[in-house]
Each structure stands twice: as C-alpha cells, then as structure tokens.
C-alpha cells in the first residue's frame, strides 16, 4: 500500500473524527452535556485482510471513543460508537451477487443490514434511554464475526 493511500484514509477517518470532536466539545461543556456518536466498523474490532489503513482508523476511533468517554463524562458528555457490519448501501451495488450471497451466508441472521438498522442504533445511543451508556461500541452486524 502506498504511504499516500494510508495517509489519506487516516486524514479522513481518524483525524476528521478528532477535528469534529474538538470543534463540538467546548459548546457541549458550556451547555452542560451532550452526546458524541462515532462511526467505526466491525473490521475495526475484528480486523480483515487487505484493509490495513481502514482498520487502523476504525480501531483508532474505538480508542478515541473510550478515552473521550472517560475524559468527558465529568462534563455530562456521553461518547459511544456504532460498528456496522455488511449493510445494503450503494457501495455494495457494484459487488457481484455471488459476493453478496457469501456476505449473507456469513451473517447468522442471514441477511445484510439495512440502513435503518444502523440509524436505529444511533437513535438509541443518542436517546435518554441510553443515558447510562458511555464508552461502548455497539455492533450492528447480524451476529457476524469476521473470519468465521
């Protein structure tokens, strides 16, 4: 992998999350709290072949999520992340049907996630019902464990 490819993904996926959080935290502290929700991936937890740059950033987001939950909790700011699995989004439309079927077969629930599945996880974590959840990574992946 060329270093420029690695650096680009780090700049977007890792530094972008850092920059956004740095921008909103002062306002959240002033208002007495808030919720920060980060986007990671199951590959940031489990790893995957051929995605070193992407996995490094998503694992980094998990680390930042856990650290910020500890640092910002005293300001009534909760920080969590969502780790989607294979989800039926536009990016998968270019994949051959055979690959999509293999993804479904590796998912214990037997289907791809829907965008609504992921959105509902974010809605829950943003809600008062998740008021005592912080520093967690919610897998929304149909039960898949990569590599099994």
pLDDT on residue 146: 61
Give the pLDDT mean for 114-138. Answer: 98
Q: What is the pLDDT of residues 1-60, one digit of tens each?
A: 889 999 999 999 999 999 999 999 999 999 999 999 999 999 999 888 888 999 999 999
Q: What is the pLDDT of residues 54-71, one digit of tens each?
A: 999 999 999 999 999 999
pLDDT on residue 147: 55
pLDDT on residue 11: 96
Mean pLDDT over all residues of the chain? 94
Q: What is the 3-state secondary structure (H, E, C) of 97-142?
A: HHHHHHHHHHCCCCCCECHHHHHHHHHHHHCHHHCCCCCCEEEECC
- Domain annotation for the chain: domains and CATH numbers: 3-140 (3.40.50.720)
Give the pLDDT mean for 117-146. Answer: 95
pTM score = 0.91
Catalytic residue positions, numbered: 54
Q: Cα 7 to the chain's mean position, in Å? A: 19
Give the pLDDT mean for 88-117. Answer: 90
pLDDT on residue 74: 98
pLDDT on residue 52: 92
How far apart CA 47 and CA 6 sit, in angstroms, is 16
């Amino acid at each position: 992998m060329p270093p420029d490819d690695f650096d680009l993904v780090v700049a977007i996926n890792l530094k972008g999350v850092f920059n956004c959080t740095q921008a909103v935290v002062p306002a959240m502290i002033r208002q007495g709290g808030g919720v920060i929700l980060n986007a990671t991936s199951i590959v940031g937890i489990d790893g995957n072949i051929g995605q070193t740059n992407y996995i490094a950033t998503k694992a980094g987001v998990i680390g930042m999520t856990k650290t910020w939950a500890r640092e910002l909790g005293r300001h009534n700011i909760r920080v969590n992340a969502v780790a989607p699995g294979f989800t039926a989004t536009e990016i998968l439309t270019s994949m051959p049907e055979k690959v999509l079927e293999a993804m479904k077969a590796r998912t214990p629930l037997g289907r791809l996630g829907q965008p609504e599945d992921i959105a509902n996880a974010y809605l829950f974590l943003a809600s008062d019902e998740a008021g005592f959840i912080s520093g967690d990574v919610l897998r929304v992946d149909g039960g898949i464990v990569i590599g099994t």
